[in-house]
């Protein structure tokens, strides 16, 4: 079955990006948000790796995701820690929530899963509409590491239960005009040398030029745009391998 962050993909994600792991992003987001007194929204909340430590530090965070498996996992991790955030199943590109937010955050490049430009613009417009006046967005992006169509990588992942998951990733398309790559992920789960589950995932990722994304934010109405790299605030990127973070304000 073709899925997007289905059960096996979510299981591997949780092993790779377990609660308590940081790539510098958890500390960075807390530093940028620690003065926020109101509501914070995290679209594409995933397993809660960012949401949970922010909540444990006293911030009022809620989230949503399109993947039911991810939401179930996030709820489980939250419940284990005595947390009960508002979580919703919603699409980033078109959603309606009753509250306005002091901050909306999309860490780890999840925003790039919106590989169609119209969906990305719609999502940013939704963010703008759901912010309080003076509220901020903080969004991570990155650039592709390979444009070699047909590139294949494989991984073997051991689960805590002792099973094995093999992951084959094939870069099947590079759309230079519309600026996105399409990778096929094939997950296979093995138990006692027997195949017990298989999952195929289509995984798109869009990319933006640094100033291109700034221009899109401006067109939507955001102001005071700060561009940072590798979680060093207001340090303009100098290398294509760096994580790029945009922070902008609704005036």
Per-residue pLDDT tens digits for 61-90 = 999 999 999 999 999 999 999 999 999 999
User: So what CATH class is 2-143+208-249?
Assistant: alpha beta
pLDDT value for 62: 98
Flag whether pLDDT at 2 surpasses 50. no
**For the chain, what is the radius of gyration of the CA atoms?**
18
The mean pLDDT of 102-123, rounded to a whole number, is: 97
Give residue limits of the domains in the chain.
2-143+208-249, 152-206
pLDDT tens-digit readout, 82-111: 999 999 999 999 999 999 999 999 999 999
Neighbour count for residue 133 (Cβ, 10 Å): 8
Average pLDDT, the chain: 96
User: Would you place residue 145 in the very low, low, confident or very high pLDDT band (cuts 50, 70, 90)?
Assistant: confident
The mean pLDDT of 239-248, rounded to a whole number, is: 97
Task: Tell me what percent of the residues of the chain surpass a pLDDT of 70.
Answer: 99
Residues 124, 17: Cα–Cα separation, whole Å: 25
* 3-state DSSP of the chain: CEECCCHHHHHHHHHHCCCCCCCCHHHHHHHHHCCCCCEEEEECCCCCCCHHHHHHCCCEEEEEECCHHHHHHHHHHHHHCCCCCCEEECECCECCCCCCEEEEEEHHHHHHHCCCHHHHHHHHHHHHHHEEEEEEEEEEECCCCCCCCCCEEEEEEECCCCCEEEEEEEEEEEECCCCEEEEEEEEEEEECCEEEEEEEEEEEEECCCHHHHHHHHHHHCCEEEEEEECCECCCCCCCCCCCEEEEEECC
pLDDT value for 146: 87
pLDDT tens-digit readout, 160-186: 999 999 999 999 999 999 999 999 999
pLDDT value for 3: 56
Flag whether pLDDT at 1 surpasses 50. no
Residues 202, 2: Cα–Cα separation, whole Å: 7
The mean pLDDT of 200-209, rounded to a whole number, is: 96
The mean pLDDT of 9-25, rounded to a whole number, is: 97
Which pair of tokens denotes residue 217? 């934010």
Beta carbons of 41 and 101 less than 8 angstroms apart: yes
pLDDT value for 206: 97
């Amino acid at each position: 079955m073709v899925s997007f962050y289905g059960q096996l993909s979510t299981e591997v994600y949780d092993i790779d990006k377990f609660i308590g792991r940081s790539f510098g992003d958890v500390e960075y987001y807390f530093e940028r948000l620690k003065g926020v007194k109101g509501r914070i929204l995290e679209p594409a909340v995933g397993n809660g790796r960012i949401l949970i430590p922010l909540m444990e530090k006293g911030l009022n965070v809620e989230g949503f995701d399109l993947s039911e498996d991810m939401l179930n996992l996030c709820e489980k991790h939250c419940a284990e820690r005595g947390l009960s955030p508002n979580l919703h199943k919603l699409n980033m590109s078109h959603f309606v929530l009753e509250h306005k937010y002091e901050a909306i955050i999309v860490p780890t490049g999840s925003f790039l899963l919106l590989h169609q430009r119209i969906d990305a613009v719609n999502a940013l417009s939704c963010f703008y509409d759901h912010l309080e006046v003076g509220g901020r967005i903080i969004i991570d992006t990155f650039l592709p590491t390979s444009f070699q169509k047909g590139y294949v990588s494989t991984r073997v992942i051991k689960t805590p239960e002792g099973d094995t998951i093999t992951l084959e990733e094939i870069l099947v398309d590079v759309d230079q005009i519309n600026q996105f790559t399409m990778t096929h992920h094939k997950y296979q789960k093995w138990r006692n040398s027997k195949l017990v589950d298989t999952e195929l995932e289509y995984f798109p990722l869009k990319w933006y030029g640094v100033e291109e994304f700034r221009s899109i934010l401006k067109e939507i109405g955001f102001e005071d745009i700060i561009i940072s790299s590798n979680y060093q605030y207001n340090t303009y990127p100098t290398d294509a391998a760096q994580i790029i973070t945009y922070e902008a304000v609704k005036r």
